[in-house]
A and B are shown apart, each in its own frame.
Chain A
Amino acid sequence: MTEEGSGSAPESGDDLDPLIADLLDGKHRALARTITKIENRSPGYRDLVSQLHAHTGDADVIGITGSPGAGKSTLVDKLAKTYRDAGLTVGVIAIDPASPFTGGAVLGDRIRMASNVGDMDVFFRSMSARGTLGGLSTATTDAVKALDAFGKDKIIIETVGAGQNEVDIVRTADTVAVLVPPGSGDDVQMLKAGILEIADLFVVNKADLDGADRTVTELREMLQLRDGEVRVGGGHHGFEETTVDVGGERRDATTEEGGGSAVDPWDPPIVETVANSGEGVEDFVAALDDHRSYLVESGRLETKARMRYAEEIRTLLREDARGILAEEIEARGGLDEDVEAVLRRESDPYTVAEAILEPLADCVADRRE
């Protein structure tokens, strides 16, 4: 098992890498090692991911985000348990921050996975936000592909909802749930800053605590406010319905309304849960399923996938182009002289950049014909 992958010729065409063959065969170790290679950006990992792609596309990807202590890990645990009870297999990727100084990290989300211990069909993987190289979201997307190809029905990505990086990660999910703990106006403030837009549904977790009602009300007001911006003058929002009622009735209401804004007629429902006791988890699952069927029926799922792949290709191109530039700079003997010239006011950064890029751009233009 140890020499796996090392002997694989990257240009071997259709031949499957033995590691990928093992992964598709259902070997847990092969899946784990593939994700490690993806995380480490090991030589040859790109070929692995390319080979995986043909086998993906069947999993339902759910992103869960929220401020630290909102109860994400506990809720993910209960969610995984519910899916397992329904006979589905589950993959979880939990992302924790890493120290920017040492690169070290303590990845503690696993502790909360108490309902699924000893169940190998819940594949739980902790990742640290270690990477500046290529970006964390690329590694997460690739790891999701590995789980997808392995045959997981549901894949859950869990991440702390602070910062652009995390927003990018949850974008790779089909359905994004944002967790809000009750009783703190600050969290609602955080939502204003941009997470509001990415949420397909809201979960007010720890709903047994004081202030949960208020949080629900505040959230609903904010959604209404957003709603008002989109459909000016429309006074007939369907928001008076109860928060946990996310069934068909509600969707009917929103589809009717959807005539006004054809872009995205989905109104994020608000679900109340107590992850510790499992209360409300059923409603949460129902809301997730609901969003899933909305995506399928409206064709949004395909639109999303299209956008996602386009974005993925662009990201890879950026990464590679950066690599080519780094090589070019290296070949020119570094930037020291140019920097010196800029410092002496003999040149300026724009001119230098143009000078370096020009031969490359010429090359590309030549080849295009």
Chain B
Amino acid sequence: MSAEQGQRQIRCLVAKVGLDGHDRGAHVIARALRDAGFEVIYSGLHRSPDEVVQAAVQEDVDVLGISILSGAHNTLVPKIMDGLAEYDALDDTMVIVGGIIPDDDKAFLREEGVAEIFGPGASMDEMIDYIRANAPERR
């Protein structure tokens, strides 16, 4: 039956957390993801970890992309991961981080459960291909 075939579409949340007003990058990425055929939810600026968790849980996104340029990633990202776990959303939400992350911190973030980190110079295609290949398989 045609109605049972289903039409899966990758959903992404592009989130800006904390006191960081630089959203040009997030805008560019949101557009690129849209043009790649994804459904993109943009959080807006200055979101708290709780708000990001709320959005990720309710929207049931496959991918949560956190953009942080403030340097507070070691504090904010674990809070988000904990929140996702609280709502049973950690296992099937792929979290990726974009921004300026020192090499030393990258290992820590990966330990926290971040799937991939994209720094300055990462290309859009690289990111889109990564999401297509790794978006969590559901059901």
Q: Which residues of A contact B (CB under 8 A)?
A: 1-2, 5-6, 27-29, 32-33, 35-37, 39-43, 45-46, 98-99, 102-108, 110-111, 117-120, 123-126, 128, 130-131, 133-134, 319-320, 322-324, 326-327
List residues of chain A with CB within 8 A of the CB of B1.
320, 323-324, 327
Indicate the member of B5, B41, B87 with the most A CB atoms within 10 Å. Answer: B41
How many residue pairs at the A-B interface have CB separations less than 8 Å?
A: 128
Task: State in angstroms the CA–CA spacing of A111 and B42 once bound together.
Answer: 7
Contact of B34 among A35, A102, A124 (CB under 8 A): A102
Q: Which residues of B contact A (CB under 8 A)?
A: 1-9, 11, 30-31, 33-44, 47-48, 50-51, 54-55, 57-60, 87-89, 91-92, 138-139
Task: State in angstroms the CA–CA spacing of A32 and B87 once bound together.
Answer: 11
Contact A42 to B6, CB < 8 A, known contacts A1-B91, A106-B42, A107-B39: yes
Contact A35 to B60, CB < 8 A, known contacts A1-B92, A43-B6, A105-B34: yes
Contact of A42 among B30, B89, B139 (CB under 8 A): B139
Task: State in angstroms the CA–CA spacing of A41 and B6 once bound together.
Answer: 4
Contact A98 to B39, CB < 8 A, known contacts A111-B44, A117-B48, A130-B9: yes
Assess whether B39 is in contact with A33, with CB atoms less than 8 Å apart.
no
Assess whether A103 is in contact with B9, with CB atoms less than 8 Å apart.
yes
**Smallest beta-carbon distance A352→chain B, Å:** 20
**Smallest beta-carbon distance B41→chain A, Å:** 5
| Top 8 closest pairs, chain A to chain B, by CB | A111-B44, A32-B60, A104-B34, A323-B2, A323-B1, A1-B88, A102-B37, A36-B60
Q: Which residue of B lies closest to A30 (CB)?
A: B88
Task: State in angstroms the CA–CA spacing of A323 and B6 once bound together.
Answer: 13
Q: Which residue of B lies closest to A37 (CB)?
A: B139
Task: State in angstroms the CA–CA spacing of A46 and B1 once bound together.
Answer: 12
Contact of B60 among A33, A106, A320, A323 (CB under 8 A): A33
Assess whether B91 is in contact with A2, with CB atoms less than 8 Å apart.
yes
Given contacts A2-B91, A105-B39, A319-B2, 13 further A-B contacts (CB under 8 A): A35-B60, A40-B7, A45-B6, A102-B36, A108-B42, A111-B42, A111-B43, A117-B54, A118-B54, A125-B58, A125-B59, A130-B7, A323-B1
